[in-house]
Structure 1
Amino acid sequence: MQIRFDAALLAAVLAAPAFAAAPPTPPIPRAVVADPPRYAAHPARNRQVLILSHGEGMNALFMLAAGAGPKPTMLLLHGLPGNEQNLDLAQAARRAGWNVLTLHYRGSWGSPGRFTLAGAGEDVDAAMAFLRQPGTVAQYGIDTRRVVIAGHSMGAFFAARYAAAHDDVAGVVLIDPWNVGASGKQVAAHPETRQDAIAAMGDDFGNSLAGTDAARLMTEVERHANDWELADAVPALARKPVLIVAAEYGNAAQVAPLTAALKAQRGARVRAVTLPSDHAFADRRIGLAGVAVDWLDRLRAASPK
């Protein structure tokens, strides 16, 4: 899901030096395009899990990397509603040696409960707590020193907010993040755009979300316009390694100021890449996975053993 409000602003941002000067994308890592040999003693495998959040068991899939011993692990969060779940990225990260946990928030895609944006944020907290439980660490081989949180669109919004508020993540991957607070402020400043914003938000929900619709979610966005502004998270977020991948024809107008603010922080470790694609990166899937896996490889190499 993407929110577009101001075509002129988008055009201005795309013409800005921050995007013109974006660093070149790295070579595609082998894990993105080639399968490794089978590790017979400890093969890659999938495990379906239920993650408890406020009394409901969220549907989740743990994609476990091959090999013995604890593995770096990534929590990968989908957007709204999650038609693009980035499972190709998850598979590439696993081939590169990372465990990847994916989930469906309460009230989405068959997970019980009613979907709300605030509830999805609580579900992210629950998923990270799950990864830290001693039984989970032992059963699934998690290296708790190298846990990364990643997300796409709405998932990136919650990944950024979680990372800003917690010290238990080694890095953050933000894929064309949605700044929910900025969208709420935009509608407040231009109420005539509200119906168009609702239509843009809800054009692909189908039967994926329970107990809500685009109008109710927009009301939630407006109610949290001030306390869900990602700019407020920048100082804390910039203390961690961050990868931001923007979509030139997606949420670039929101991503550019966030990227600039992060890079302006003293000591920030931010890599920002813009790919010429839409919000779902529909025609840059290998490019997206290549950027993300290259960053994960570098993060793992730089982290303490």
Structure 2
Amino acid sequence: MRTRFLFSLGLCLAAGLAHAAPATTPRAVIADPAPDPAHPAANREVLVMSHGDGMNALFMLAAGAGPKPTMLLLHGLPGNEQNLDLAQAARRAGWNVLTLHYRGSWGSPGRFSLANAGQDVDAAMAYLGQPEVQRTYLIDPARIVIAGHSMGGFFAARYAARHDDVLGAILLDPWNVGASAKNLVAHPEQRQDAIAAMGEDFGNALAGTDAAALTGEAERHARDWDLVDDAPALAAKPLLLVGAERGNARQVAPLADAVRARGGKLLRAQTLASDHAFSDRRIALSSLVVGWLDGLRGRAAAAR
């Protein structure tokens, strides 16, 4: 989602997020691992079914024998930034990564809507939970993480707050749809500018919708799609929350504060001095993500 749209919503001031870059760069961010000829890394194109439609998806499989920790990586609206560099870094660090295009986006059949995208996330997680899929792609069901950028971060947060089948969640400059919608309901004079700014990024990426329809859908869910309301549940999960200074940091800070207020001791929250796509901080972002995943994997192993 374009940053100018997010700024046009008049969100509250950013506060409470650390601004330091990661102290070290994990090796997987900048170096390939030793090849494993017996169990090489691989890409597998898959169709993930959601309400009768097969979503285009790519499974990036890590090298090595045995079940792997696995991450579902969700793109934003419409998904011009796919964050595949993060997926590759996570794979080099030993994680399988599943990426997909929601119904009605980027050639996946069906009609796109915010509600449908939420259903698609549920479908993708159900796919990862299938025993046959876990055997085929060497997935460790006890070590599954959900991650998302912008709108994908919104859905990752909502899923993690409502389900116990994820070990943790990564929220990259998440869009708080409910907070944005509440602002538009309170300031209807901003609506047309917000719609115009949102639609600038769409191109031919989405089917069956437009910016006005999506804005109306968000407004109808203003009361029940505010991520701050999910803070009590999120406080119980390991959580990496990364804001972008020129993106959604003003919206991310209240979520971080709410999680902390609910005792979120497993929260790591940080702001990078970049735009919403983290365009000039990709190595720093990869370092944060891979470093957090490494720590999470160690925590999961210690708990066994």
TM-score w.r.t. length of structure 2: 0.96
Aligned to 1:240: 237
Aligned to 2:186: 189
Cα displacement (A) at 1:268: 2.9
Aligned to 2:152: 155
Aligned to 1:166: 163
> Secondary structure of 2:169's match?
strand
> Secondary structure of 1:263's match?
helix
Paired residue type of 1:164: A
Superposed CA RMSD = 1.3
Alignment match of 1:261 (pick from 242, 258, 270): 258
Paired residue type of 2:44: R
Q: Report sequence identity in percent.
A: 69
Contact 1:5 1:193 in 2 (8 A): no
Contact 1:32 1:293 in 2 (8 A): yes
Aligned to 2:6: 4
Alignment match of 1:47 (pick from 15, 38, 44): 44
Contact 2:19 2:272 in 1 (8 A): no
d(CA) in 2 for partners of 1:221, 1:276: 28
User: Structure 2 matches for 1:1-305, cutoff 5 A?
Assistant: 1-2=1-2, 3-5=5-7, 12-13=13-14, 16=15, 18-19=16-17, 21-22=18-19, 24-304=21-301, 305=304
For this pair of structures, how many residues does the alignment match? 300
Contact 2:42 2:60 in 1 (8 A): yes
Contact 1:49 1:60 in 2 (8 A): yes
In structure 2, runs of 5+ residues without a counterpart are none
> Secondary structure of 1:207's match?
coil
Paired residue type of 2:291: D
Paired residue type of 1:223: R
In structure 1, runs of 5+ residues without a counterpart are none
Cα displacement (A) at 1:264: 1.5
Paired residue type of 1:112: P
* Deviation digits for residues 234-279 of structure 1 (CA, Å, limit 9, x no counterpart): 1011111000010000011110100111112225310011100000
